[in-house]
Structure 1
Amino acid sequence: MSATRPRQNAFSSGEIDPLLHSREDFQRHQTGTRTMSGFIPLRQGGFTRAPGSIYRGTTKDNKKCRRVPFQFADNDALSLEFTGLVMRVWRYGELVLSGGSPYELATPFKQNDLNKLSWVQDKDVIYMTDGEGPVQKITRLALDNWTIADAAFDTGPFKVQNLDEALTIQASAATGTITLTATGGIFSADWVGSLIRLAPTDIDIPKWVGNQTASVGDKVIFDSRIYELTAGTNTGLEPPTHEAGTVLTTGTTKYKFISDLVGLVRVTAYTDSNHVTAEVLKTIPAPIVAAATYRWSEGAWSVRQGWPAALEMYIQRFWAAATESEPRTVWASTLGAFEDFTPGAEADESFAYTISATQTQNKIQWLARGRKGIYIGALGEVYLGKSDTPGSAISPTTFDTELVSPDGSTKERPIGGHGYPIHVARGGFIVQELRYSFEEDGVRPIELSLPSQHLGGRGFGRGVWQSKPQRYGWYILGDGSLAVVGYDPDQDVLGWAVIPVAGGVVEDIDVTPGLDGGTDIVNLVVRRTIDGVTVRYVEEQALIYGVLIGTEPIHKAIHVFAASVFEPGAPEDTFTVAHLVGQDVYAWTDKGQHGPFTVPVGGSIQLPVEVNHAVIGLFDDTHMVETLGLQAAAKDGATQGRQRRLLDKQGIDVYKTAAGRVAAVERMFGSEPRELGQHDLLRRQIAADLTTAWSGTARVDANSGFADEVSLRFYPVGAAPMTVTALTPNIDEGGP
């Protein structure tokens, strides 16, 4: 038998997978825990209580919603709340009002399609699609003045040109509202709204040749444009190059621009399979009015072909992907012109690219910009879209894709922690980062969830990345709790934890910059049952870092949920939390902690003392951290298979901690774990009123009997801050 004090200096690997519990040789075992629930791992090594949340209001009519971040300026960040057919605007925790009521904008997005929303922002405009209708352009004119309309994609994109010479179209006129007459029964009622691109089959107009005799009214072609001579008797020494109006080219020679060699129309009405009415968007070349052409192309986005389901902005192009008819096609706009999809081959022109499929037509789920290119997530694989020519920009002739992950992806948008997309692989069980490897000179998937793969059993859902003041990724789990991952590849930090939210179910999450620009605010939509009624609360995740690493007093800490924060200006003892009627709440104040109280009808609770600051909210009593089995050393080698026990005087390093509890846990093979009595982490005479935060080494007599395995559990006390930075157990092994 021998007593030892093996020190654990870090818990930054968070809650690790049960299959790693016996891997003492594994690095993350040495910095991991058996359970981390309601606490978060710190990059510095310790663990601290997870942030609580501040109640900000409810969704419209308590409906399920989708929140979309919108940053207009450094100090002007919004969240757009979408419920069925309605958008509302939140700004720093408050609804934007118009005439005393929440501002609302009617939208075409139905309640059941909100989870399909994909969007991308350009300054004061956000483009949005659900894949069920035209891409919408939402424009901010003022906080309480927004417009929404179909994005004006009047120049494309288009499907591959028709090659069947038996299927022709002829236009009745070059401009205005015209009739298109077809052969071969081309049209159907679902053509209404579709674009058609028309090019002549035969052209009897000569090309321009300089210094040739000509007459007014003669037509010539130069650089794929048709011009008419309006003055002069000679073609001139310089060709016409203008794209509108009449221009003097040489001497007395003048040319009028007539049209390009391509015309564009949008179908407005259906007559029969060979006749439709159309609006001319770009003048129809005269040869198509004179004779039918088989060189026509149908618009790629329409009721007939479907609408793009994924959007992104990258290298000054608007990107879209995945219609019903072309589920694996990506379209890129003209460089710098986000609504221009005129097809071409020049470096700055629009193009389309279809990813080949070897087995099934796995639909593209999302697009995400990142280092090295644009990432394309499909159900069965993930690709990187980039230039195939080193040092050359993406263009119609250089764009290519390479497979970077064969695992596929869910529909949820990736989050970006360090310039590389972090996405949930198909099935929802695995979180991957698509990171560039210098050794392989390529992008490869890194399985970030592997050390804590058991969490994937709950299913990873929607996620966001919080960059400031600390770097964390937040994911909604399938059971409605949150998963948090601390990830810093430069410091080799990777740790997961689970955050239950006091009985609530998290349904949506977004992140927006804080008003000061130095923080990222995580916003939650939480479904709760309050006084027997189902509600959906908008809750702003609190920031704990001002208390933890700043200079704020500990009474500013918020570790309860759906909380209200009161700063009355003068001491008071009565506060109203009407949104928590029937619930048990704690009050965390500048005069210590009070509660629990059951909130009565009307919502008013009275504290036993007057306070200047109070945080009142829900406490989650499931929060807890348990260490892995504590190791005991022996002179004759490993001690696996031997019993061990915890002696008195465990050394526990804490930082800015007001209260907490510790209990020893015994495990015997074939039996359920047995928790022994809980002990105060800090002596009550030191922290009797919970108004002071303490840092240093606490000595706790959390002992146990002999068992196959022993560990320590840490519990929070109400809303009191608690951070543990290291552990020195006093452990004795039982010998052979």
Structure 2
Amino acid sequence: MARAAPAIRSLNAGEQSPLMDGRTDTNNYPASSRKMYNTVAAPQGPAIPRSGTEFINSVYKHNESSTIIPFIPTEDDFYMLEFANGRMRVFTEVGVLTYAPVAMTVTDDSPFKFDSATLGANIGDEVAFSLFPDTYNLNGVVGKIVGKVGTVYEMDISHPALPLLATAKVSRVYHIDSPYVLADLDALVDIPSLDVVYLVNGKKKTYKLKRNNTYDWAFEEVAWSDGPYMATNEEKTLLTPSATGKATPDMTADNLPSGYVASGSSFFTGQEYYKAFDDPDAKTYWQSNTDQTGTLQIELPSAIVADGYSLRMAINNSNSTFISKDYAPLNFTFEGSNNGSTWDILDRQNTYVVWDNNKSLFFRIPNVTAYKYYRIVIDSVQTNGAVKPCLRGLVIRSTASTSMTITASSTTGINNNAGFKSTDVGRFIRMKADDGSWRALKITAYTNSTTVTATLLGEPFPNLRGTDKWRLGLWSETTGYPATGVFFQDRLWLGGPSDWIAATVVGAYENMAPTDDDGAVQDTSGICVRLNARKLSKIRWMVGVKRGLAVGTGSQEFIAVASNNTSTTKNITPGNITVEDCSARGSSETQPAPVDSQVLYVQRGGRTMREFAYSYEADNYKSPSMSILASHLGVSPFTQLAYAAEPYSIVWVRRKDGGLVGLTYNRDENVIGWHRHGFQDEFVERIAVMPSSDQMQDVLWMIIRRTIDGQTRRYIEKLTRFWDFGMTLNDAHFVDCGLRYEGDPIDEVYGLQHLEGREVYGVADTVPVGPFTVNDGMITLNQAASNIVIGLGFDSEGETSCLENGAQDGTAQGKIKRFNAFAVKVWESYGGEIGTMNEDTGEVEYVPLAEHYKNQDTSLLETIELFTGILGPITPAPGYEKSGSVFYRRKKDVPLPFNIVSLLPRMVTQDGG
């Protein structure tokens, strides 16, 4: 029989799977646990009981689920957004956002009624109360208006203690209508950028939510200006426009067709004004009769709003001294007038030299005024000297001239040869005309499988010839919409539908144009590529990492990088992108949690968390399992991740069964520790993390579905601060769905309607109280107190792994053991219990520790004070066992901190069996 006094110095390896019970050879076995429930594995080593939750508010409708999304535009400005069925509410750290409060007077307490002449609310609105005496615990309470007579409002709550004619304040809860309904919420992904958050879910068009000021939030459908597009058509199908999109017809004389008059400063013999507006295939042109300068004007039958123009260069040049470009304008203005004498400059170009494809760029102008006259005024041309300006075309686009019909010669190549569909409305088309430039259009109406109506978005067509060089837009009701996204390298990247990746123009987050207006692909142009996958699989998530863009799909994980990655070309561009496969684990739809240089994601089946991290040895990204030591925790799939950096670096994980687990994750210190959490066996429906205002903790917010008084209730709750340095017993909050009262001493605690009929516990002036049963939203204490927290009680508990100590003959596993005594090193603690297993009864026998808390002079504490030091010696219940594990717990009736730094048992192990 060998004696041993092992030290369990750390518990930060967390709860491990029963499959690991025999692996005493692993490095983290001594710090592991067989159970860690409602207890956090602190990265430094201790086991810390999780704090309780604070009740914030009910969701918008108890019978419908909501989701919560953090909105964090700056490091000290943050909100939590609740998305309900067609509605969004805004929460600050202390509660729901409301308008300025107005005066009210109580007229009835059951049901609660009040009179307010200036509230201006309607039935169905929500209101919040303030400036009631603290004893009523009504301040911050939110209720719905269910009746209204004049200025008297009836609420959906009661408060039997309210005196009639009591005065206070009431304010309307701020909300806005949302485009998202219940079916949209599960897959909703947010992509934040300062005061704007882009929202995708794979089912709807992309929306953005913008905060203009405190009471001005708005949803807008993103108005993509161009792109993205699928691959260029490779079939023989032609797309033909019914109109060019220009505001003027092909003219045959300076005053024909009737109503149109071409004129100007002068023209060279045979090169009249109208020849800049005639059939472009004629290759005729207008030429000024003055060196370097000239004016070309068009009078229209009626005023139009011109929103863009371009110039076409004369190309039918027989001069042996000058080339065609020499005659093109260099400095010029585009102007509008309604009387032909007073002109407004709409656009000015100085030293303009880009004449690719024998034409200028298309100049978009921010004009909203209708003019009857337009003109181009040329101040100089490309070459100095006796050179007279020439123009083959002045092409003006009007907002009224952009609608046209697009006709396909067949359905081949369109929607898998099915042709156009009604679900293509809203989809982009990109067509390359015979002048070498691409035009973008947006489908506005469906006629049949070969005919749609579309709006021209850019430069008019040069003619009405069909083209087989065309691309269909990537996103539509036909093909689907983005399912995920991220900001990376000053682009908005969106993933989906299927295995497509699209990125915006650099710095222009609502433009995915693949080229400039002249058709040139720039480094800043939009990007649209398909993954080079072995099988077709949907993109699940995207995260920017140091070396590139990490992409998870249902079958593989990829990294998109710059093909030529040097110090000067490290950014991805349309011509400098390679997508490399990294692992073939496959990802679930759960959005990942980026942590430093790693990305934690959930494998396809939902039961394994993996770490996407760069390996210098492999010179590639790898995906080792973070769940291999605790695989049992994924028996119900992981459905949501939320990372809280402060104070313990925890990845919170919501499971499909409504459970919550946490992963203490500190790669620098090689800490990987899992822990389980429960909320009275009730269902966690959503999680999100938002910093606290003091930056001391990244706070876990949850929507928890509870059963209250026989009814289903959904509450928004947040985890209170973990026990930390500088806290006192008055800060203790180890109850769930709790509320705190601070004020004059009271013995009747109100405001607990959200826990009606439930058994509650709490702390009153540092003393544990309870249990109580909530009746009519209140409980009565045995003694008045001024600092009270009341809520649902919960136990925090754990069991260490089986100790491998004391054997002189091989392993200690499977041998009879007996614990003779314990010492427990604690930090700022009170209460708690230590236990051992009675293998005869199958029960854990606990020993309370309260009597071991002592002052420095070794006398027992007369009042509750927090203690830091070693408790013991503690004599356990007598008995023998084979497992040799140590149990600990903080019971719900003592909701105070019990922080275990180390466990110091004394034991004997019988080698003889």
TM-score, normalized by the shorter chain, greater than 0.5: yes
1:397 matched to which residue of 2?
A: 575
When residues 137 and 732 of structure 1 are mapped into structure 2, their CA distance, relative to the original with a 3 A threshold, is: same
1:350 matched to which residue of 2?
A: 526
1:145 matched to which residue of 2?
A: 216
Which of 327, 330, 343 aligns to 1:235? It is 327
1:182 matched to which residue of 2?
A: none
Which of 489, 500, 522 aligns to 2:678? It is 500
1:258 matched to which residue of 2?
A: 395
1:162 matched to which residue of 2?
A: 233
2:827 matched to which residue of 1?
A: 655
2:37 matched to which residue of 1?
A: 37
Deviation at 1:228, TM superposition (A): 5.6
1:174-220 deviation digits (Å, cap 9, x = unpaired): 14899xxxxxxxxxxxxxxxxxxxxxxx9958799x999999989xx
| Alpha-carbon separation, structure 2, partners of 1:81 and 1:689 | 47
Which of 282, 285, 304 aligns to 2:461? It is 285
Question: What runs of 5+ residues in structure 2 fail to find an aligned partner?
Answer: 100-120, 122-170, 250-278, 298-308, 315-321, 331-351, 355-360, 366-375, 397-434, 516-520
Q: Is contact 1:645–1:703 with CA below 8 Å preserved after alignment?
A: no
1:450 matched to which residue of 2?
A: 628
Confirm or deny that 1:721 pairs with 2:897.
yes
| Alpha-carbon separation, structure 1, partners of 2:452 and 2:617 | 59
| Alpha-carbon separation, structure 2, partners of 1:605 and 1:638 | 55
2:23 matched to which residue of 1?
A: 23
Deviation at 1:172, TM superposition (A): 1.7
Q: Is contact 1:424–1:432 with CA below 8 Å preserved after alignment?
A: yes
| Alpha-carbon separation, structure 2, partners of 1:7 and 1:517 | 35
| Alpha-carbon separation, structure 1, partners of 2:284 and 2:35 | 78
| Alpha-carbon separation, structure 2, partners of 1:470 and 1:408 | 29
2:86 matched to which residue of 1?
A: 85
| Alpha-carbon separation, structure 1, partners of 2:67 and 2:626 | 26
1:631 matched to which residue of 2?
A: 804
When residues 265 and 656 of structure 1 are mapped into structure 2, their CA distance, relative to the original with a 3 A threshold, is: same
Q: Is contact 2:830–2:850 with CA below 8 Å preserved after alignment?
A: no
2:468 matched to which residue of 1?
A: 294
Which of 606, 627, 651 aligns to 1:428? It is 606
1:334 matched to which residue of 2?
A: 505
- RMSD, aligned CA: 3.1
Deviation at 1:501, TM superposition (A): 1.4
Partner letter of residue 54 of structure 1? E
Partner letter of residue 395 of structure 2? I
Q: Is contact 1:667–1:710 with CA below 8 Å preserved after alignment?
A: no
Confirm or deny that 1:516 pairs with 2:694.
yes
| Alpha-carbon separation, structure 2, partners of 1:633 and 1:177 | 98
1:94 matched to which residue of 2?
A: 95
Which of 441, 453, 459 aligns to 2:637? It is 459
Larger Rg: 2
1:196 matched to which residue of 2?
A: none
1:204-263 deviation digits (Å, cap 9, x = unpaired): 58799x999999989xxxxx975267xx99715967436438454426637676389332
Deviation at 1:164, TM superposition (A): 3.1
Q: Is contact 1:171–1:284 with CA below 8 Å preserved after alignment?
A: no
Deviation at 1:417, TM superposition (A): 1.8
TM-score by length of 2: 0.71
2:135 matched to which residue of 1?
A: none
Q: Is contact 2:232–2:469 with CA below 8 Å preserved after alignment?
A: yes
When residues 216 and 162 of structure 1 are mapped into structure 2, their CA distance, relative to the original with a 3 A threshold, is: farther
Confirm or deny that 1:381 pairs with 2:556.
yes
Deviation at 1:677, TM superposition (A): 4.5
| Alpha-carbon separation, structure 1, partners of 2:738 and 2:449 | 63
When residues 634 and 293 of structure 1 are mapped into structure 2, their CA distance, relative to the original with a 3 A threshold, is: closer
| Alpha-carbon separation, structure 1, partners of 2:496 and 2:236 | 29
Deviation at 1:163, TM superposition (A): 3.5
1:55 matched to which residue of 2?
A: 55
**Identity rate, percent:** 24
| Alpha-carbon separation, structure 1, partners of 2:6 and 2:910 | 16
2:868 matched to which residue of 1?
A: 695
Q: Is contact 2:73–2:195 with CA below 8 Å preserved after alignment?
A: yes
| Alpha-carbon separation, structure 2, partners of 1:599 and 1:73 | 41
When residues 440 and 164 of structure 1 are mapped into structure 2, their CA distance, relative to the original with a 3 A threshold, is: closer
Matches within 5 A, 1:244-255: 244=363, 246=376, 248-250=379-381, 253=389
When residues 128 and 591 of structure 1 are mapped into structure 2, their CA distance, relative to the original with a 3 A threshold, is: closer
1:192 matched to which residue of 2?
A: none
Deviation at 1:7, TM superposition (A): 1.1
Which of 639, 646, 655 aligns to 2:819? It is 646
When residues 177 and 301 of structure 1 are mapped into structure 2, their CA distance, relative to the original with a 3 A threshold, is: farther
| Alpha-carbon separation, structure 2, partners of 1:149 and 1:511 | 25
When residues 152 and 734 of structure 1 are mapped into structure 2, their CA distance, relative to the original with a 3 A threshold, is: same
| Alpha-carbon separation, structure 1, partners of 2:473 and 2:74 | 36
TM-score by length of 1: 0.88
Which of 106, 109, 112 aligns to 2:180? It is 109
| Alpha-carbon separation, structure 1, partners of 2:288 and 2:50 | 82
| Alpha-carbon separation, structure 2, partners of 1:457 and 1:138 | 36
| Alpha-carbon separation, structure 2, partners of 1:431 and 1:112 | 26
| Alpha-carbon separation, structure 1, partners of 2:560 and 2:185 | 27
| Alpha-carbon separation, structure 2, partners of 1:684 and 1:8 | 21
1:689-716 deviation digits (Å, cap 9, x = unpaired): 7731111111121143222223221111
Matches within 5 A, 1:661-672: 661-667=833-839
2:357 matched to which residue of 1?
A: none
Partner letter of residue 812 of structure 2? T
- Return 32-41 or 416-425, whichever deviates more: 416-425
2:429 matched to which residue of 1?
A: none
Give the total of aligned pairs.
690
Which of 481, 489, 511 aligns to 2:667? It is 489
Confirm or deny that 1:371 pairs with 2:442.
no
Partner letter of residue 465 of structure 1? Y
Match of 2:886, SS state, is strand
Q: Is contact 2:709–2:756 with CA below 8 Å preserved after alignment?
A: yes
Match of 1:566, SS state, is strand
Match of 1:19, SS state, is helix
When residues 279 and 166 of structure 1 are mapped into structure 2, their CA distance, relative to the original with a 3 A threshold, is: closer
| Alpha-carbon separation, structure 1, partners of 2:510 and 2:780 | 59
Partner letter of residue 286 of structure 1? P
